[in-house]
Structure 1
Amino acid sequence: MRLWSRELWRIAWLATIGVCLGWLLGSAGLGLAAGLGVCLFHHLRQLRALFQWLTLNPNDEPPAASGMWGELLDRLYRYQKSQRITQGRLRATLARIQESSEAMRDSVVMLDRHGDLEWWNSAATEMLGLQTAHDRGQHITNLLRDPGFISYFNARDYSEPLTLPSPIDERSILQYQITLYGDDERLVMARDITRLHRLEQMRRDFVANVSHELRTPLTVLSGYLETYGDLADQLPPRLGRGIEQMQDQTQRMQNLVNDLLLLSRLEIDQGGQDHQPLSVEQLLNSIRQDALALSHGKHAVHVVIESDAQLLGSEQEMRSAISNLAFNAVRYTPTGSQITLRWAAMVDGGACIEVEDDGDGIDPVHIPRLTERFYRVDKGRSTATGGTGLGLAIVKHVLLRHEAQLQVESHPEEGALFRCIFPANRLIQA
């Protein structure tokens, strides 16, 4: 503010001198114009020096000047210096990021807001076949043309990774994960999970083969034990009790083998061939009868229908999934509990099947792991009720095959609610 006042005083002083000289020469107006002209010439000269400095030698020190122009040039110089320091730091940071990205074994691809390729590391060149000379600026779906990747990219739901064969080697399996950042830009990361995929396939094959091989000896054992059980009244009491226990354990093993085989089939088979419109009301009423038979009248089981839509899916798989939830409610709730099977519409256009009880509930710490194989909240009680520990894993896989998801809401002493949420494209309105 002081510099501005000083500059105004300088203009006023030059104008006054010009007026005085012009009055002495007989023309005060001409003198005023001459004074203002000298002032204008000074500012134009300083402006020219500023222009030359900024355009020709911006990295040199600013030209010498006094007053407001000197302060302006000094501030511009300090600003430029701080900007150069900041740019240097940013370049160093970008260089380190690029060096670290180049050192990664996983592919890293940066896309702009339109999905066009901006930058990628060397691993992406080897894993995805991207070429710097030809592919920069191309849309990602022009190079990764797998329909699964295109659907995943356009859906903009990147909460779960996508697993697909490599576009340059079908024997390699890649896992894609896309992250949104900045101005709707995207970061695509791909990692080679071929070894993990093969190990998982070996595990599935091993479980399926062992389960299949166990069926025959278990069937033989069960048959002989049933025969001996029919003759229990002719056997000594101790031997009769032993045969009864062997029958229970053999039946438990058969249930376990059947569940393992079902899980293996759900994992290996893509499914969808037997999907057809299902009457959810009929399905829930049928499951209710099975749950009442299992309960022997110790629980109250109700069916509530709040939607008339049909569900597109596999009747066998859906019956298996919802039956598991209903039977768990019977097994793990005390006598006299209320169990509700509900079919209801949702706000987003989808619908859900709910299995709710007012039993002992589940501690929320267990909920994230409930769908793991053989995970038990109470191991002693699960064994006593004859559970295999695979029921919720089967539910999870069935829902995945129906584009659905499982939500669990529960707290101790407040009951439990298992909600199977189906998208709108799985519904057929009446």
Structure 2
Amino acid sequence: MSANNNKEHKKPLTNRGIVTLKPGEVRADTAQHTGLRVACGKEGRKSFIYRFRSPVTQKLVQITLGHYPEMSLLDARSEHRRLKLIREKGECPKLYLQKARESEQADLQKAEAEEAENRFQVHDLVELYLTGHVESKNVNGKIISGARNRKGQEEVRRTLEFDVTKVIGNIPASALTKKDVTELISRIISRGAPVQAGNVMRELNAAYEYAIGTGKLDDEFINPVEQAKKTLIRAHKGKLTAKKKSRYLSEKELREFLFWLPKSGFSQTQKNVLYLALFTGARTGEVCNAEWSEIDLKNAVWQIPDPKNSIPRSVQLSRQAVSLLTNLKKVNGFYPFQTSVKKRPLKQKSLTETLWALRNPKKVAYNRKYSVEQLAPKFLDGWAPHDLRRTVKTGLARMQCPYEVSEAVLGHVQQGMEGVYNQHRFEPQCREWLQTWCDYLDSL
């Protein structure tokens, strides 16, 4: 710009003057607004510029304040005054704005991170843990095994979906508190399922650790389940883990049990599960999950493909067991022990939950009423459905059944070198002794 042109424009900026600016022209403000300029670019876009000497580097620096008419002349002068005061305090306005932008960007990123955390709810955390760690997955046609076997995967999913997702699933995972966890676990204990409460606490704790490890939650995030664990264990005095039990039904108790079971408060499907567990020595969980495709009624054999010890085994069926299953075959579909509504296998934990209700009828949350004869009798104190398995083992021993055969009945694997070299399954002997056992039950 020529010297004459500079002198010509030594006047305060006006809106009219800005409007008439041509591409390439620059006009400066005057008086207290010295340093404020407006420049017109090649495309006719007009920009407000603050030009000054940096008090830090002593070099000429300029900052674009905004564009006209989006930023008015009045707003440009106001911003100019603000930055000029910053300069007079010995700070470079350009560095000041740069720091302000960085701080604003950091705040924005923090807000976005917090929003993302709020969107990441407990049900998302559970699903991440199940699909990313617990369950097997198909990657480009290759099956990558999960952390649990097939039945274990199904049980963990049922546990978390029923006792976690349905109850606290919509709470942001980062907002769950120690109090929330304590109340959740205590509610499960109060319904008579302390071992289930321990399972929920263990799996939810692992889900949080997995979310932290995968970066879904910040490294500095404090796991609320870990916080609640000591309080819960102290408050419930170790009730959150399964204790080694020795309970079984004596001959007298077994007679009373068989007399009470038909009129008990268990559903008919639950009664049938208990009967077959008593006839076979199988785990109640194995009975609940049985499928008709595994049962050969003609040859009286039940093939369990994926038992607890992961070794498939054959359960020999007595005449009593075949009779029970034959009657069920007439009315049930895919599963011998299925629920009446969803037609899915009966959940094993429903047995312990019902037993708790039969012992604590006044604490039952729903309006179910039991008659006196349906309630659990006193002699069953301390007894659990799984104890039927121990009852079968003890009864066979009392009848002089060889140890190796009774172990084979339960599907136990021999330990040490004997288990390595002796692969005999004693199936004919198992059939003989299970028939003897069931005939004995009939005699009671």
Q: Same fold (TM over 0.5)?
A: no
With normalisation by structure 1, the TM-score equals 0.26
TM-score computed with the length of structure 2 as normaliser: 0.26
Higher-strand-fraction structure: 1
